[in-house]
Chain A
Amino acid sequence: MRLTRRYRFAASHRLHADALSEEENRRLYGKCNNPYGHGHDYVLEVTVEGAPDPSGQIAHRASLDEMVRGQVLSRLDHMNLNQDLGEFKTLVPTTENLASFIERTLREHWNLPARLARLRISETDRNAFELEIAR
């Protein structure tokens, strides 16, 4: 059985790959390459998998919220991803890379009995990035 909880955070970013020229960056990332950056209201879904415990829950809501808020949202919400996170000083903060960053961060601190099974991030309501996490 799986349980999914949805969270929101607002953050800005600029997509720019250092390995590419200014012109290539403009062509590849378009408006997302704007030097001053831009922002999104991201929606993050965190899915856990397991059997319900004697309380009838796969994960206690407060424990899951504390994990995601403490380890992920506190680092990302109302931040400039390029400037405020060491991770994205060199790595392009695409939502693909952001999903991998969130996976690494959660895995590193995970202490819930249920298994972290899936992450899904929407940058806007017209796109979504989904990561199934192997056992």
Chain B
Amino acid sequence: MRITRKAEFSASHVCANPAWSVEENSKVYGQSANPNGHGHNYVLEVTMEGDPDPVTGMVFDLRELKEILNQEVVEPMDHRFLNREVPPFDRVVPTAENIAAEIWRRLEGRIRRHQSVRLANVRLYETADLYVDVGTES
């Protein structure tokens, strides 16, 4: 069975590779390359998979998941300039793909300790019209 919890954070970023010229970055990332940055209201959906515990009836305690999401994602990233304040985005371009992959790594590190459940999917909406899935099936 799969359970999903949602979290939100607002952050600014610049999508530009410092090794490339302004023209190249603008060609690759469009408006997102503006050096002063711009922001999004990111929406994160985290899906876990496992069998409900016979005693508690839960796949995973959603309060604990909320706490993990707060510690690993919301507190470090909410209302931050990702490139300047949140490693590894000082050296990794914070595209939706790279942010989703970083969130997967952070959560996987915490959830791996629980044997009865696994992280199944991380979906990150950058806008309502663009999202990235990182998961065991994608």
Determine the chain B residues whose CB is within 8 A of the CB of A61 once the complex forms: 30, 130
B15 touching A2 by the CB < 8 A rule?
no
Q: Does B97 contact A (CB under 8 A)?
A: yes
Most chain-B Cβ atoms within 10 A of its Cβ — which of A3, A54, A117?
Answer: A3
Complex CA–CA separation, A82 to B95 (angstroms): 40
Considering only CB atoms and an 8 Å cut-off, how many residues of chain A contact the other chain?
Answer: 18
Q: Does A19 contact B (CB under 8 A)?
A: no
B93 touching A56 by the CB < 8 A rule?
yes
Q: Does A89 contact B (CB under 8 A)?
A: no
> Known contacts being A3-B97, A3-B130, A4-B133, is A56 close to B15, with CB within 8 Å?
yes
A56 touching B95 by the CB < 8 A rule?
yes
B129 touching A49 by the CB < 8 A rule?
no
Mostly helix, strand, loop or mixed at chain A's interface? mixed
> Known contacts being A61-B30, A62-B30, is A55 close to B131, with CB within 8 Å?
no
Q: Does B11 contact A (CB under 8 A)?
A: no
Shortest distance from the beta carbon of B31 to any chain A beta carbon, whole Å = 10
Query: Could you say which of A2, A55, A117 contacts B29, with CB atoms under 8 Å apart?
Result: A55
B130 touching A56 by the CB < 8 A rule?
no
What is the interface of chain B, defined by CB distance below 8 A to chain A?
A: 15, 17, 28-30, 92-98, 100-101, 128-134, 138
What is the interface of chain A, defined by CB distance below 8 A to chain B?
A: 1-7, 49, 52, 54-58, 60-62, 117
